[in-house]
Structure 1
Amino acid sequence: MGLSFSVPNSVTKLPPTLRNIFQEMKSDLGIENRKGDLTPWHNQGVFLMNRVLTTEPGVSQSHKGIGWESFTDEVVKFLATKDIVFILWGASAAELEKYIDYSKIIRSAHPSPLSAYRGFFGSKPFSRSNEVLRNLGLNEIDWQT
């Protein structure tokens, strides 16, 4: 689909990481999403990007270290000059903090089943990002899919 975590609405069993994202969203905002297509977020300006942009099917991080990190560094350096909020999930994303104004960062563990209980659940990234957007005088995100 081209959007991190997103799957077509025809997918009836959501991937575990997306289920965790939606579980946190319900806890944070009371929103119960069941559709995996995150295009409505994209349409409001949410940019979902993995640290490494390709992988072998079924092999997590198989393309780590082949150059994507340099590219995503440059993307984030450019985006950091704009009035936007960065939600950094996981240690790999946290490596990008050095390029971003601290006041625009929401950080937690990754929502994957392996790490969600180590700080993702309870982190309230959706309400916190909307708070930062309000403080910047920008529109909040409607996180409903």
Structure 2
Amino acid sequence: MNEGAAGPDRLQAWPPALDAVALGWQPVLGRFWRSGEGERLNAFLRERLAGGAVIYPPEPLKALRLTPPEQVRVLVLGQDPYHGPGQAHGLAFDVRPDCKPPPSLRNIFKELAREYGPAPTLRSGLLAGWARQGVLLLNACLTVEDGQAASHARRGWEHLTELILTELQARARPLCVLLWGAHAQARWDAVAAAVPAAGPRGVLRANHPSPLSALRPPVPFIGCGHFTQANAWLMAQGLAPVDWLAPSAP
């Protein structure tokens, strides 16, 4: 088993306790577990673990633990966790502090450096600092098997994502939504079309930070200016800006 300073790199047991997430998310999570999709997902994960599958990350619900719904002011939507050993730790786009940044995260750092200048904090694990400031780093699918991208897609996680987005859309608190890539844009747009926004929404769109799309039209990720634009929007709503370069606590 791979273990670094942050502990085991894979899922150890399932299901988690309800208090694995912040109190405000517990009703949403409870509804999900009681749904058919939630029951099927639970059975699937238990079966795969019992069969010896290596599943990442060790804490699939970490984003919901670090960022309570009442504190969410920025939403970043991803797809599924990184599928290599020692990478994913439960936050979209981020990797464990002891892991080399993958290409998409390196491009996020490039854009941050372009907007704010180089900083020593631009390293793996930085995004946990965002999560503690109210940036919800949510993947559509929260688990994956070793070396098999999207291996847990359409197993039920997407229904939980829909419930979470619906909960956010129904809250009056201003929310800035960063949509990187067609997958994230389509997922948010489907919920936004079905659920009227209860408060101000600032939606910023760009290509995915993957090297395959980060520099391509229609809206290249490199050069998108999303971090400064998000802060300008938040301040216009009377909210504090995000310190995108703040060092992350453990």
* TM norm structure 2: 0.53
Letter in 1 for 2:214: A
Question: Shift in Å at residue 62 of structure 1?
Answer: 2.3
SS of residue matched to 2:136: coil
Q: Deviation string for 1:7-62 (max 9, x for gaps)?
A: 23222x31111100000111122243432112211111111011222222222222
C-alpha spacing 1:46/1:86, structure 2 compared with 1 (3 Å): same
Q: Which has the higher contact order (CA 8 A, sep 6+)?
A: 1
- The equivalent of 1:73 in structure 2 is 162
Amino acid at match of 2:134: G
- CA-based RMSD of the aligned residues comes to 1.9
Paired residues of 2:176 and 2:233 also in contact (CA < 8 A): yes
2:227 counterpart residue number? 126
State the AA in 2 paired with 1:91.
A
Q: Which amino acid aligns with 1:122?
A: G
Report what 1:16 is aligned to.
103
Q: Which moved more, 1:106-115 or 1:52-61?
A: 52-61
| Higher deviation after alignment, 79-88 or 17-26 | 79-88
Distance 1:39 1:136, change over 3 A: same
Instruction: Note the residue ranges of structure 1 that are not aligned, 5 or more in a row.
Output: none
Higher strand share: 2
Identity of aligned residues (%): 38
Distance, in Å, in 2 between the alignment partners of 1:34 and 1:121 is 16
Q: Is the 8 A contact 1:29 1:126 kept in 2?
A: no
Aligned to 1:85: 176
- 2:90 maps to 1:2: yes
Q: 1:51 — aligned with what?
A: 140
Q: Of residues 104, 107, 117 in structure 1, which corresponds to 2:205?
A: 107
8 Å Cα contact 1:5/1:17 also seen in 2: yes
Task: Work out whether residues 88 and 105 of structure 1, in 8 Å CA contact, stay in contact via their aligned partners in 2.
Answer: yes
**Matched residue count:** 144
- In structure 2, stretches of 5+ residues that fail to align are 1-88
